[in-house]
């Protein structure tokens, strides 16, 4: 890239970063601080479309993990003590309430006052707790959090996998059950790309803060599963739902997961610092990014998915957030692909115009249609709707702009 062009792209990154920091500090952080439950711990678990908080709604443990991850990372970037206090608050709820102190692991959900409601143990849920605890340890230097993260890592490795990969759902005592929580579209999957991705994401963060050789070995194994079992080179995509032997059981192209996977795998490889793995996986992540750009991006936003070739045109909050980061990552890995930077900017503009709910006291809509009209049946907060994707988008863009040469 010539010097003049480099200056131009740096200016564009700086502008994106400035806008993201403003959005983070004036919209996302204040919104989630308002959901802090002083009386019962954790954060309120539900806000409907009309912005009414249900203070007695269940509190999803995934939601709490993602809030813990978010405030920990916001503190690491912005160094504001109020953010660390929110992270401490989320950590206490996780450690005291969400953890099963008899059988180990993290429950699925708690009552508003901290009693177990759904006691299943899902591998996905354990992974998000590791992700959050590792980041919280980085922010707080709390050794108990690191110990809990390593205990969950050992639990996944001993109770949640077979010889070829990671299983999904278990009862309270870790006996296998149907995977209805992470199966969709009419199938019941024994293994999923989604759970594998977020185990990888969690282990990446755990390895970053511990440099554990055992964690590193697991990360390398997961990458080979992605390369050999999940990635479909003929269709330039990932498969999504599998039986125990990694045979795909549904013709589904999840656009949001593919663009998210591309940058998360690139990041994991950067943390691992293994040249051979970087080269092997970059071939895949570049292909995923290129395919998503060509088949799912319409010039301003990303469609949701395609099942049996039929495209779902909904614009989901998390898909758009990951699209910004994924295309920005693609541009930074291949600077000649200026169209990826264009796509990241265009998607951010779509978010500002259509997904960001400008009503006072709100954050982002759950989803809008292709033309930007919100779905009024969807809540603003629920167990899956959290500050993880859009908050991480802001944090990633800010970090990447600061690190750009």
pTM tops 0.95: yes
Query: Higher-confidence residue: 73 or 405?
Result: 73
Per-residue pLDDT at 4 exceeds 70 = no
The pLDDT of residue 2 is 57
SS3 360: coil
Q: What is the CA radius of gyration of the chain?
A: 20
Backbone angles phi, psi at 258, to 5 degrees: -65, -45
Between CA 18 and CA 13 the distance in angstroms is 9
How confident is the model over 10-20, as a mean pLDDT? 95
* Nearest of 29, 37, 30 to residue 54 by alpha carbon: 37
Between CA 252 and CA 362 the distance in angstroms is 32
Instruction: Quote the percentage of the chain above a pLDDT of 70.
Output: 98
pLDDT 10s digits, 173-207: 999 999 989 888 889 999 999 999 999 999 999 99
Between CA 328 and CA 311 the distance in angstroms is 24
Q: Where are the strands (E) in 51-101, listed by range?
A: 59-60
Q: What's the mean pLDDT when you consider all of the chain? A: 96
Cα→Cα distances 17→23, 260, 395, Å: 10, 19, 9
Rounded to the nearest 5 percent, the helix, strand and coil shares of the chain are 55, 10, 30
CB-based contact 357:365 (threshold 8 Å): yes
Per-residue pLDDT at 6 exceeds 80 = no
Domain boundaries, the chain: 58-355
CB-based contact 132:65 (threshold 8 Å): yes
Q: How many CB atoms lie within 10 A of CB 178?
A: 12
Give the architecture (CATH level 2) of 58-355.
Alpha/alpha barrel (1.50)
The pLDDT of residue 355 is 98
SS3 269: helix
Backbone angles phi, psi at 251, to 5 degrees: -80, 90
* Nearest of 319, 398, 396, 387 to residue 31 by alpha carbon: 387
Q: How confident is the model at residue 3 (pLDDT cuts 50, 70, 90)?
A: low
Per-residue pLDDT at 235 exceeds 80 = yes
SS3 99: strand
The pLDDT of residue 63 is 98
| Beta bridge partner(s), residue 241 | 192
């Amino acid at each position: 890239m010539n010097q003049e062009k480099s200056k131009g792209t740096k200016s564009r990154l700086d502008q994106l970063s400035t806008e993201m920091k403003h959005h983070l500090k004036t919209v996302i952080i204040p919104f989630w601080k308002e959901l802090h439950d002083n009386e019962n711990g954790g954060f309120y678990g539900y806000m409907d479309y009309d912005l009414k908080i249900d203070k007695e709604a269940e509190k999803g443990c995934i939601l709490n993990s993602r809030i813990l991850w978010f405030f920990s990372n916001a503190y690491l970037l912005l160094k504001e003590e109020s953010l660390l206090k929110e992270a401490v608050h989320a950590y206490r709820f996780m450690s005291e309430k969400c953890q099963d102190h008899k059988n180990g692991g993290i429950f699925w959900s708690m009552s508003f006052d901290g009693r177990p409601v759904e006691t299943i143990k899902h591998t996905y849920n354990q992974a998000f707790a590791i992700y959050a605890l590792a980041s919280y340890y980085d922010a707080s230097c709390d050794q108990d959090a690191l110990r809990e993260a390593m205990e969950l890592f050992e639990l996944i490795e001993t109770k949640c996998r077979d010889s070829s990969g990671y299983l999904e759902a278990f009862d309270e005592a870790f006996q296998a059950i149907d995977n209805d929580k992470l199966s969709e579209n009419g199938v019941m999957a024994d293994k999923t790309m989604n759970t594998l991705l977020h185990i990888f994401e969690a282990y990446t963060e755990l390895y970053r803060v511990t440099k554990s050789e055992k964690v590193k070995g697991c990360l390398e194994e997961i990458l080979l599963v992605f390369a050999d079992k999940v990635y479909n080179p003929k269709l330039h995509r990932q498969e999504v739902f599998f039986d125990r032997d990694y045979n795909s059981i549904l013709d589904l192209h999840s656009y949001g997961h593919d663009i998210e996977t591309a940058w998360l795998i690139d990041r994991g490889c950067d943390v691992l610092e293994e040249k051979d793995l970087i080269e092997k996986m970059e071939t895949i992540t570049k292909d995923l990014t290129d395919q998503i750009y060509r088949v799912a991006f319409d010039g301003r936003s990303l469609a949701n998915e395609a099942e049996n070739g039929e495209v779902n045109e909904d614009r989901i909050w998390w898909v758009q957030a990951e699209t910004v980061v994924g295309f920005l990552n693609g541009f930074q890995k291949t600077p000649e692909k200026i169209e990826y930077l264009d796509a990241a900017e265009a998607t951010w503009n779509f978010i500002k115009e259509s997904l960001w709910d400008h009503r006072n006291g709100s954050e982002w809509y759950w989803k809008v249609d292709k033309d930007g009209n919100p779905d009024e049946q969807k809540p603003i907060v629920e167990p899956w709707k959290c500050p993880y994707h859009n908050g991480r988008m802001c944090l990633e863009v800010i970090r990447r702009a600061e690190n750009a040469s």
